[in-house]
Amino acid sequence: MGEFEAYLPYLLNILPVIPYLILLPVTVRRLRKPEQLTDYLAVFLLAALLVEITESANRLAILGLDAQTFLVYKQIFSTLIILLLAQMIRVSSIPLARRWPFWLALFWVVGLVYFKNLLVIFASWIGFIAWAIFLVQQAIRKAHMPILRNRMFYWVVILGLALTNDLMLFYFLDARYNLLRLGATALLSFMVLRSHLPDVRDLTRQFLIYLASALIIMLVYVGAFLATEQIFGALTGYSPLLAGAGVAVLISLIFAPLLGLVRNTFNRIFKLESYDPSQTLREYSTSISNILDLEKLATVAVGLIMEALEINKGLLFLIDPEIGENGQKIFRLSPIRGVGGLPSANVTFAADSPIARFFIEEHEALLQYDIDFAPAFMDGPVRERKWMSGLGIDVYVPVYSKGEWIGLLALGPKGSGSRYTEEDLNLLAAMASQTGVALENARLVENLRKLNNQIREAYSYLDKANHDLASLELTKSNFISIASHELRTPLTVARGYAEMLLEDPTLPEQVRGLVKGIHKSTLRQVEIMDSMFDIAQLDSRTIELHRQDVFLTEMAKSVAEELSKSLAERQQELVIDLPQLPAIKADPNTMRKLFYHLMINAIKFTPNHGKIKVLGKQLPPNNRDLPEGGVEITVSDSGVGVDKGLQEIIFTKFYQPGELLNRHSTGKTKFKGSGSGLGLALSRGIVNAHGGRIWVESDGYDEDTCPGSDFHVILPLRSQGESKTVRMGSAVKLKL
């Protein structure tokens, strides 16, 4: 026992050091950045630990410092501790606070140690205390977030404990231990190492509720017991024990109503709102379930939430994933409704930012306080954090649909000034889940509405384009009609005079050659004018068909004979492989033009030494378009072929493949030479006028392999309802 008493002073002096030795390693493991509270806490604990070690060593006569010197060092360390507390208050109350020049504080402390001037030390201590109190007061006054204001109340207690401890040590009492500083350190460590602190207002309310309930119950018990004693005490057999038991039973019966009455009274005093979560959620779901308009949905959803929780400000953002300029995924936030003012512009969040990752991965509400001060978000882009801090919002609740982040509810502070409770956040999460379904439906309807508007605009542009095209087509047709009429007369005169000169036997041979050239060119121009005239008649619905029996085999051979010279010039082979086909009722003039244009087209787009075939077969009757049967003529070539995407366009007027200026030639059969672009258009008009069909089949266009093309023509033996004379344009109009 004597040895224990001998070591007891040492144990008592070492005991205050132990809490710091426990807290310091825990804090060091949480270190991240210099501007975070954990770093300042580590320095604070280290300074307080040095103070305790120095004081314990001096009490045990290890250092041997005199009282005056020891007081100076205690004041210097206390000044440093107050300075650290002031900076921690600054960092914890100012979002994105600039890094504090810690070397300046060390320089100041070194100066205090060097000069050891008590007046300067005291003035520094007083100045830092005043600065810390000012920072707390300003933070409480300016804090719009209840959770931040609640944290500042903890700082009030910490500062009070530290200030009282220093006053007791330095100026008032001869205290041996820094117990109040130890209490301040414990509370400070709890506050820094814990993100969300218990609500001081709620703790105060709960304490007052139970204190008031206990006092009332005590008064009831005492009053009831005294009343029982006064009334029944004179009776024989009265037992105070039984009387107390009866009063206890009475109190147990009234305890629950009494506690509820006290709780409701203090809730009104603290302006604590109350609501039924299940009833609120049911009304919310019913109100938004059938809304398909995006703006109306946002208005109703935000309005109901603000009314239920008595919130002053609310926003709803749409989330749209996009690809940014650097090729990385981003999320664009677009506000669609708000109370309290909408942001001036949309903002984008990087997909790898801590804020976006939290919403995508955690699927939980996020407090603005966490964005400003929580270590997990300190590495986030400053642009995103500043934008969110400027909204004046307290909590962000993500909205999901099928697991995808599609919206964000941003809610401001409550009108009562209280913080969001766990019950509030759970209710908001449930509301956000209901909002996700309605928001997705509204977005689908909105997208459909936009698509319909785009289609409507496209139809409007298409109608205008069709009108312009029809006007252009009419202008072109008028030009063709006028040109074909006006040029035919002078060409006929030129042709007549050229033929008269050629019949003159006295014409010199040299002049005769020139006249033959004029005559040949005139015939070519007459042929072009005839085609233009036919097209003009086709457009104006005035060309007439004079039907009679036509034998296509003989007609094809006759046309081939006319083109024999062109075939010889191109060294091509033309094979007429037609059986004896039955006669069809058709116009022989237009049928000849049909064969002529198809064969000329084959010659023109088949290289030298190529081969052209004209095939045919009889078709049996069918109920669709050949009630009496028909014939099929196929003009095949070994030419360059036709591009699959152009196999319909080539039958339009004036279509020219490739570059017109580089290919244009007045020759009728030059390889790939461009003509008037009317041959195939006339061919289709002739076939359609006779109630038939024409199309082309080809594997594509290739000048190297020359896949060739097959032009198919189907003609009925007799058209339905045919008359002796049929207007070609009318037939074309019916087919088109």
Mean pLDDT (whole number) for 494-507: 77
Instruction: Label residue 34 by pLDDT band (50, 70, 90).
Output: very low
* φ and ψ at residue 603, rounded to 5 degrees: -60, -45
525-540 burial: b if 16+ Cβ within 10 Å, else e: bbebbebbbbbbbbbe
Mean pLDDT (whole number) for 167-171: 74
Residue 736, pLDDT score: 27
Which architecture characterizes domain 2-197 according to CATH?
Answer: Up-down Bundle (1.20)
Mean pLDDT (whole number) for 225-253: 81
For residue range 48-66, what is the model confidence (pLDDT) as tens digits?
Answer: 888 788 877 777 767 767 7
717: Cα within 13 Å, side-chain hemisphere: 14
Residues 6+ apart with CB under 8 A from 182: 16, 19
Residue 160, pLDDT score: 92
Strands 347-350, 548-550: pairing is unpaired
Residue, of 277 and 675, whose pLDDT is higher: 277
The token pair at 77 is 């360390």
**Mapping DSSP to helix (H, G, I), strand (E, B) and coil, where does residue 34 land?**
coil
Instruction: Label residue 407 by pLDDT band (50, 70, 90).
Output: very high
Instruction: Label residue 520 by pLDDT band (50, 70, 90).
Output: confident
Residue 104, pLDDT score: 65
Residue 639, pLDDT score: 92
Q: Which residue in 728, 665, 678, 684 sits closest to 532, CA to CA?
A: 678
- Asked if 570 contacts 669 with a C-beta cutoff of 8 angstroms, the reply is yes
Residue 339, pLDDT score: 55
Mean pLDDT (whole number) for 576-587: 90
Instruction: Label residue 559 by pLDDT band (50, 70, 90).
Output: very high
pLDDT higher than threshold 70 for residue 435:
yes
Instruction: Label residue 715 by pLDDT band (50, 70, 90).
Output: very high
Residue 344, pLDDT score: 62
Instruction: Label residue 168 by pLDDT band (50, 70, 90).
Output: confident
Instruction: Label residue 661 by pLDDT band (50, 70, 90).
Output: very low
CA 545 to chain centre: 63
Domain assignments of the chain as residue spans, ordered by start: 2-197, 202-265, 277-436, 543-735
pLDDT higher than threshold 50 for residue 173:
no
pLDDT higher than threshold 90 for residue 698:
yes
**Angstrom distance (rounded) from CA 109 to CA 679:** 103
The token pair at 516 is 């033959």
Residue 734, pLDDT score: 31
DSSP 146-215: HHHHHHHHHHHHHHHHHHHHHHIIIII---SS-HHHHHHHHHHHHHHH-SSPPPHHHHHHHHHHHHHHHH
pLDDT over 90 percentage in the chain? 17
Mean pLDDT (whole number) for 316-328: 87
The token pair at 493 is 């005169």
Cα end-to-end span (Å), the chain: 122
Residue 613, pLDDT score: 94
Mean pLDDT (whole number) for 667-688: 76
In which residue are the tokens 């400000």 written?
313
What is the third-level CATH fold of 543-735? Heat Shock Protein 90 (3.30.565)
pLDDT over 70 percentage in the chain? 82
**Mapping DSSP to helix (H, G, I), strand (E, B) and coil, where does residue 632 land?**
strand
Instruction: Label residue 140 by pLDDT band (50, 70, 90).
Output: confident
Q: Which residue in 356, 357, 373 sits closest to 317, CA to CA?
A: 356
Mean pLDDT (whole number) for 158-164: 91
For residue range 205-217, what is the model confidence (pLDDT) as tens digits?
Answer: 888 888 998 898 8
Residue 337, pLDDT score: 65
Across-strand partners of 318? 334, 407
In which residue are the tokens 């094809």 written?
556
Q: Which residue in 431, 434, 366 sits closest to 196, CA to CA?
A: 366
Instruction: Label residue 481 by pLDDT band (50, 70, 90).
Output: low
Strands 395-401, 404-411: pairing is antiparallel
DSSP collapsed to 3 states, 314-379: EEEEEEEEEECCCCCEEEEEEEEEEECCCCCCCEEEECCCHHHHHHHHHCCCEEHHHHHHCHHHCC
CATH of domain 277-436: 3.30.450.40
Q: Which amino acid, residue 46? A: L
**Angstrom distance (rounded) from CA 658 to CA 490:** 33
Mean pLDDT (whole number) for 154-178: 78
Residue 273, pLDDT score: 65
The token pair at 120 is 């300067």
Residue 606, pLDDT score: 92
Instruction: Label residue 480 by pLDDT band (50, 70, 90).
Output: low
For residue range 606-641, what is the model confidence (pLDDT) as tens digits?
Answer: 999 999 999 999 998 887 778 888 999 999 999 999
Between the alpha carbon of residue 388 and those of residues 146, 396, 587, the distances in Å are 17, 10, 82
Residue, of 326 and 344, whose pLDDT is higher: 326
Residue 97, pLDDT score: 57
pLDDT higher than threshold 80 for residue 109:
no
pLDDT higher than threshold 80 for residue 204:
yes
